[in-house]
Amino acid sequence: MLIHPGRLTLDVLQAIHAGGQRLALAAEALPAIRASAALVQAAAAGEAPVYGVNTGFGKLASTRIGHDDLAALQCNLIRSHSVGVGEPLAAPVVRLVLALKAASLARGHSGVRPEVIEALLAVHDAGLVPCVPSQGSVGASGDLAPLAHLTLALMGEGEFIDDEGRRTPAAQALAARGLAPLVLQAKEGLALINGTQVSTALALHALFTFEPVLEAALVIGALTVDAARGSDSPFDPRIHALRGHPGQIDVARYYRALLAGSAIRASHVEGDDRVQDPYCLRCQPQVVGACLDQLRHAALVLLREANAVTDNPLVFAAEDGSAGGAALAGAAAGGRALPVGRTPPAGQILSGGNFHAEPVALACDAMANAVAEVGAIAERRIGMLIDANISRLPPFLTPNAGLNSGYMILHVTAAALASENKTYAHPASVDSLPTSANQEDHVSMATFAARRLQPMIANVARILAIEWLAAAQGIEFLRPLTSSALLERAHALLRGFSAPMMSDRSLAADIEAARACIGRGELSALFRALPQMPALWVPA
């Protein structure tokens, strides 16, 4: 798979996330990479102070570093910043980080040699996973600590981790794959650790892992509509066209397709004395559709960020149309030009703040709200199903309530999970703690904003597993009537590992089996079998 810098797509990123890809840099990227590297090398040979090339970092930016210490400066940067803590990042996340960092550096604005990008891709293609602790980044000045650990492994000083969690010294793992440790030159360590690639990879990981869960939610929500003998009138396209939200319009269309041909629905079109269904049935397009719109927007933000250059300072060589002949105007302290006799290639090195991950943090907070709401309305559907006054099914979905408790406590479990997600959904981006002696005085907390999505997604998958069990149980009381062909397949899929519960038994194992089925994408596959069904993140 060729990496075309600035032209990554969600499909490409999802394939890298899934694994099994070999990556190579598109040849057209090399001229810009070499031009920016030449500009940095000229700056390193000069006398003007250039941040991160011949100065210290953060609050120490005014400290000059001698020519003989420039290589040590970069190595010391990586070693000092490798102070992350917590469980290592999952292999799919690290694969994305390697690819995203390579693609960003390959835009030709970071001043690194092609060898640096080749080292990132070689580690990826060798199947090596740098051991990157998951905690320690505040999402500004880049994901410094986690990216430092990744770079330390490339240098042969960190660790790699295998699928079993075993750690191997980096030098040993590189040698076993015939790879040489990366030797850093001017600015290269800084370019490798500045950037939002870890927070972006974590957010993309959440987007990709939530996709089958959201598709399962649509299938299970439709099954619940039939189990409660709900109406499909609220999904009429005319209703949703009047409001105009794309996600709402699409979710209504999904429900119409999922319920098409249901004999259960046909049985109560006439003579139903319930004028309107409860909101958890009737307002699914409005609620889940709004969540879908938020997730689609987040996907756009993350795709932009995946294609962005987010380190600092940034290099603008002459090929980029920057002011010809400018003597590193943005890099020299106080605007001083390089001394006479030190004329670099035309271009500029400019300090900025693209490493600030606020766009990622805000996107992740929106994703958190959407994930939580998908679980919240599913919990309400479970509560509706066990309430005989609303569902018109036996109390707690058991034929002998009193002797049997039925689904009473399954709903309690779902409520507990939904409540946890309310706490997780508190926005991370509104928090900021100054760092680096107040030089870095506003940070995004994007890395945590993205990382906290995984327990939320796991909670929603389990809530949906409980709803799937409850909806299938409800269908049993409506037999011999059948649901639509696709929903009957969803019912049969569940019955393959969970029998109807006509007297009490523990359903803990059934919940986990249903959750695993959702995670594997088996309900998602049913959803995608619907005719003319586009990818979830693309509006119809």
Catalytically active residues, by annotation: 51
Contacts with 60 (C-beta within 8 Å, 6 or more apart), sequence order: none
Selection from 368, 384, 466 nearest residue 421 by Cα: 368
Half-sphere exposure of 87 (CA within 13 A, CB side): 6
Burial class (CB in 10 A: 0-12, 13-18, 19+), 46: buried
Distances (CA, A) of 307 to 139, 205, 335: 17, 16, 31
| SS3 per-residue string spanning 108-175 | CCCCCCHHHHHHHHHHHHCCCCECCEEECCCCCCCCHHHHHHHHHHHCCCCEEECCCCCEEEHHHHHH
Return all residues near 148 (Cβ < 8 A) that are at least 6 apart.
77, 78, 79, 81, 82, 83, 84, 193
H helical segments located in 392-520: 408-424, 446-451, 453-476, 485-495, 508-519
d(CA 529, CA 524): 9
Output the six-digit token pair for 8. Answer: 């990554």
Reference 284, options 246, 314, 248, 330; nearest CA is 248
Compute the distance between CA of residue 427 and CA of residue 442 in angstroms, rounded to an integer: 16
> Which of 129, 139, 144, 173 is closest to 82 using CA atoms?
144
